[in-house]
Amino acid sequence: MLNQPSVGMAIRSILQYPDKRLRVHAEPVAEVTPQIVALIEDMKETMYAAPGCGLAAPQIGIPLRLFIVDTASEDEPSALRVFINPEIVEREGKMVWEEGCLSFPGIHEEIERAERITVRATDEHGQPVELSAEGLLSIAVQHENDHLDGVLMIDHMSVLKRRLALRKLQKRALTAET
């Protein structure tokens, strides 16, 4: 019974920087099994509870090429999308967006990314999908896809901004300990 999916959903712990597991290159998902479906359900519960608009499996210590995003605002119905083994096949333009990350609580920085992307992936039903995205959805997909390669938000920052962000995290950690 060890490999059976758990009954109900569970909120998982989100790894926080500098946890080394955030730097791991995630492995492809071989197939969409009941365990993968259960993991996706846990990831949904975890992301919405955080709250966030995206979550990659490596952020909860699972080194698989899987992430979810939901860029709907609070007054809109869910726009949840599941990306298994995603591959960004096209990037166009550039834009700067203020990003946050559940693995960097309280840190928000302007990051430059592609304005428009096309991504191919498998969905939670094992079906191939191709999506062209721009705006917040494009940013969220690129951000979460980076997690699958062990690339973090701070890797896109200048040395000075990275230093300031890390100092802020250290200060918060010290405050939390006292």
Which residues are known catalytic residues? 144
| Polymer length in residues for the chain | 178
CA-to-CA distance for 103 and 58, rounded, in angstroms? 10
CA-to-CA distance for 137 and 162, rounded, in angstroms? 24
